[in-house]
Protein backbone atom coordinates (compact mmCIF):
# COMPACT_ATOMS: atom_id res chain seq x y z
CA UNK A 1 0.00 0.00 0.00
CA UNK A 2 2.86 2.38 0.82
CA UNK A 3 4.37 1.63 -2.58
CA UNK A 4 1.16 2.56 -4.36
CA UNK A 5 1.00 5.95 -2.68
CA UNK A 6 4.69 6.64 -3.31
CA UNK A 7 4.29 5.68 -6.96
CA UNK A 8 1.35 8.06 -7.42
CA UNK A 9 3.26 10.89 -5.71
CA UNK A 10 6.17 10.20 -8.00
CA UNK A 11 3.91 10.70 -11.05
CA UNK A 12 2.14 13.82 -9.67
CA UNK A 13 5.35 15.74 -8.90
CA UNK A 14 6.64 15.81 -12.51
CA UNK A 15 3.18 16.73 -13.78
CA UNK A 16 2.95 19.64 -11.31
CA UNK A 17 6.45 20.79 -12.29
CA UNK A 18 5.54 20.61 -15.99
CA UNK A 19 2.38 22.68 -15.42
CA UNK A 20 4.33 25.26 -13.37
CA UNK A 21 7.03 25.48 -16.06
CA UNK A 22 4.38 25.92 -18.77
CA UNK A 23 2.75 28.75 -16.80
CA UNK A 24 6.13 30.42 -16.33
CA UNK A 25 6.88 30.21 -20.07
CA UNK A 26 3.45 31.63 -20.98
CA UNK A 27 3.82 34.45 -18.43
CA UNK A 28 7.27 35.30 -19.77
CA UNK A 29 6.00 35.31 -23.36
CA UNK A 30 3.11 37.59 -22.39
CA UNK A 31 5.52 39.98 -20.63
CA UNK A 32 7.82 40.15 -23.67
CA UNK A 33 4.81 40.77 -25.95
CA UNK A 34 3.47 43.53 -23.67
CA UNK A 35 6.83 45.33 -23.39
CA UNK A 36 7.50 45.05 -27.13
CA UNK A 37 4.05 46.46 -27.84
CA UNK A 38 4.67 49.38 -25.50
CA UNK A 39 8.01 50.15 -27.13
CA UNK A 40 6.55 50.06 -30.64
CA UNK A 41 3.66 52.44 -29.96
CA UNK A 42 3.68 54.88 -32.88
CA UNK A 43 3.33 58.62 -32.40
CA UNK A 44 -0.26 59.80 -32.78
CA UNK A 45 -1.73 63.25 -33.27
CA UNK A 46 -2.66 64.96 -30.01
CA UNK A 47 -4.28 68.24 -29.03
CA UNK A 48 -1.57 70.91 -28.79
CA UNK A 49 -2.98 72.17 -25.49
CA UNK A 50 -2.40 68.68 -24.02
CA UNK A 51 1.07 68.28 -25.56
CA UNK A 52 2.33 71.66 -24.35
CA UNK A 53 0.68 71.38 -20.91
CA UNK A 54 2.55 68.08 -20.43
CA UNK A 55 5.74 70.16 -20.46
CA UNK A 56 4.25 73.01 -18.44
CA UNK A 57 3.53 75.40 -21.31
CA UNK A 58 0.89 76.79 -23.64
CA UNK A 59 0.71 77.62 -27.32
CA UNK A 60 1.94 81.21 -27.75
CA UNK A 61 -0.48 83.85 -29.06
CA UNK A 62 0.11 84.35 -32.76
CA UNK A 63 1.39 80.79 -33.28
CA UNK A 64 0.42 79.16 -36.58
CA UNK A 65 0.70 75.77 -38.27
CA UNK A 66 0.69 73.93 -34.93
CA UNK A 67 1.02 70.16 -35.12
CA UNK A 68 1.34 68.02 -32.00
CA UNK A 69 1.89 64.32 -31.31
CA UNK A 70 2.11 61.92 -28.39
CA UNK A 71 3.85 58.58 -28.12
CA UNK A 72 3.22 56.41 -25.09
CA UNK A 73 5.11 53.33 -24.05
CA UNK A 74 7.34 52.82 -21.07
CA UNK A 75 7.91 56.59 -21.24
CA UNK A 76 5.64 59.32 -22.59
CA UNK A 77 6.86 61.70 -25.29
CA UNK A 78 4.92 64.77 -26.47
CA UNK A 79 6.07 66.89 -29.40
CA UNK A 80 4.73 70.24 -30.59
CA UNK A 81 5.84 72.03 -33.75
CA UNK A 82 4.59 75.50 -34.63
CA UNK A 83 5.56 78.81 -36.20
CA UNK A 84 5.55 82.12 -34.37
CA UNK A 85 6.95 85.64 -34.81
CA UNK A 86 10.73 85.38 -34.65
CA UNK A 87 11.09 88.57 -32.58
CA UNK A 88 8.96 87.11 -29.77
CA UNK A 89 10.76 83.80 -29.23
CA UNK A 90 13.51 84.92 -26.83
CA UNK A 91 11.20 87.16 -24.79
CA UNK A 92 8.55 84.45 -24.46
CA UNK A 93 11.12 81.87 -23.38
CA UNK A 94 12.66 84.20 -20.79
CA UNK A 95 9.26 85.26 -19.41
CA UNK A 96 7.61 81.86 -19.26
CA UNK A 97 10.57 79.58 -18.58
CA UNK A 98 13.30 81.37 -16.62
CA UNK A 99 14.85 77.96 -15.83
CA UNK A 100 15.22 77.16 -19.53
CA UNK A 101 18.83 77.46 -20.61
CA UNK A 102 18.57 78.79 -24.18
CA UNK A 103 21.80 78.73 -26.16
CA UNK A 104 23.13 79.09 -29.69
CA UNK A 105 25.91 77.17 -31.36
CA UNK A 106 25.99 73.42 -30.89
CA UNK A 107 22.43 72.29 -30.37
CA UNK A 108 22.58 68.64 -31.27
CA UNK A 109 22.37 66.92 -34.63
CA UNK A 110 19.94 69.41 -36.18
CA UNK A 111 20.87 72.83 -37.49
CA UNK A 112 18.94 75.35 -35.40
CA UNK A 113 19.30 79.00 -34.43
CA UNK A 114 18.80 78.38 -30.70
CA UNK A 115 17.93 75.54 -28.39
CA UNK A 116 17.26 74.95 -24.74
CA UNK A 117 16.55 72.25 -22.24
CA UNK A 118 15.54 71.85 -18.63
CA UNK A 119 15.00 69.02 -16.19
CA UNK A 120 12.20 70.82 -14.36
CA UNK A 121 9.17 71.33 -16.57
CA UNK A 122 6.37 72.55 -14.33
CA UNK A 123 4.20 69.89 -15.97
CA UNK A 124 4.12 66.11 -15.90
CA UNK A 125 7.25 65.72 -18.04
CA UNK A 126 10.65 65.07 -16.51
CA UNK A 127 12.53 66.98 -19.21
CA UNK A 128 11.90 69.56 -21.91
CA UNK A 129 13.85 70.33 -25.09
CA UNK A 130 13.16 73.30 -27.37
CA UNK A 131 14.69 73.96 -30.79
CA UNK A 132 14.18 77.20 -32.72
CA UNK A 133 14.84 77.55 -36.44
CA UNK A 134 14.70 80.96 -38.16
CA UNK A 135 12.73 80.37 -41.34
CA UNK A 136 12.99 83.94 -42.61
CA UNK A 137 13.38 87.47 -41.22
CA UNK A 138 10.02 87.39 -39.39
CA UNK A 139 9.15 83.73 -38.72
CA UNK A 140 10.61 81.12 -36.41
CA UNK A 141 9.74 77.46 -36.32
CA UNK A 142 9.67 76.11 -32.77
CA UNK A 143 9.87 72.45 -31.82
CA UNK A 144 9.06 71.51 -28.21
CA UNK A 145 9.65 68.00 -26.88
CA UNK A 146 8.48 67.05 -23.38
CA UNK A 147 9.07 63.54 -22.09
CA UNK A 148 9.39 61.29 -19.10
CA UNK A 149 12.56 59.30 -18.50
Query: Which whole-number Å values give the CA distances from 12 to 5, 6, 76, in the listed order?
Result: 11, 10, 47
107 burial type by CB count under 10 A (0-12 exposed, 13-18 middle, 19+ buried): buried
pLDDT of residue 85: 95
pLDDT of residue 39: 55
Nearest alpha carbon to residue 142 among 93, 99, 80, 78:
80
Q: Which of 1-10, 17-26, 125-134, 135-144 has the lowest mean pLDDT?
A: 1-10
Res. 22: pLDDT tops 70: no
pLDDT of residue 35: 52
Is 74 within 8 Å of 87 (Cβ atoms)?
A: no
- Backbone dihedral region for residue 108 (phi beyond 0: left; psi -120 to 50: alpha; all else: beta): left
pLDDT digits (tens, 9 = 90+) for 48-78: 999 999 988 899 988 999 999 999 988 999 9
For the chain, the three-class secondary structure string (H helix, E strand, C coil) is: CHHHHHHHHHHHHHHHHHHHHHHHHHHHHHHHHHHHHHHCCCCEECCHHHHHHHCCCCCCCCCEEEEEEEEECCCEEEEEEEEEEHHHHHHHHHHHCCCCEEECCCCCCCCCCEEEEECCCCCCCCEEEEEEEECCCCEEEEEEEEECC
User: What average pLDDT does the structure give for the chain?
Assistant: 79
Percentage of the chain exceeding pLDDT 70: 67
Amino acid sequence: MAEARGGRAWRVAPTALAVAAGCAVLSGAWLVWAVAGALDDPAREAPCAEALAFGGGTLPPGATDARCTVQRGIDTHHRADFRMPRAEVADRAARNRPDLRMRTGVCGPQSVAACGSTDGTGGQAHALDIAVTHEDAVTARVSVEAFTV
